[in-house]
Structure 1
Amino acid sequence: MGEDGTAKKHTSLMGILCDPAGLRGSFEAQPGNKAAGVDRVRKADDAEGIDARLAALSIGLRRLGK
């Protein structure tokens, strides 16, 4: 969402994927009350250290986009 509450239009998927704030927003948007996945990891478990993992993911995705 944009700052004014309207949906943002993106023309590049890499711009969304490489932005740690966008990745964090996507993580926060996922419901936390769902059952664990096939890896048996719950959202609450994933939340530990999420900022460091999202930063590393962002860096890795930027490298792929070059």
Structure 2
Amino acid sequence: MASRRRQGCWRSPGLPQQRYGHPQPLGDTRHALGDPTSGRADWQRALDILTALDHPDAAAVRAKLQLP
């Protein structure tokens, strides 16, 4: 499991699996390119996953959801 963490491949039973980690970077890109609706949807998915994992990055994603 430790080697998968180093590679950024988080897997947990019952959680949606993302091929390249979590959708937060995609949300950042979509928001920066002027598509805040899609960006927020990606951030929300990331927040759901990170919250379920009790991951410390959840707070940063939660803050992004407050952006205009």
Tell which structure's C-alpha radius of gyration is larger: 1
Fold shared, TM-score > 0.5 on shorter chain: no
Bigger RCO of structures 1 and 2 (CA < 8 A, at least 6 apart):
1
TM-score by length of 2: 0.34
TM-score by length of 1: 0.35
The structure whose residues are more often helix, as a share, is: 2
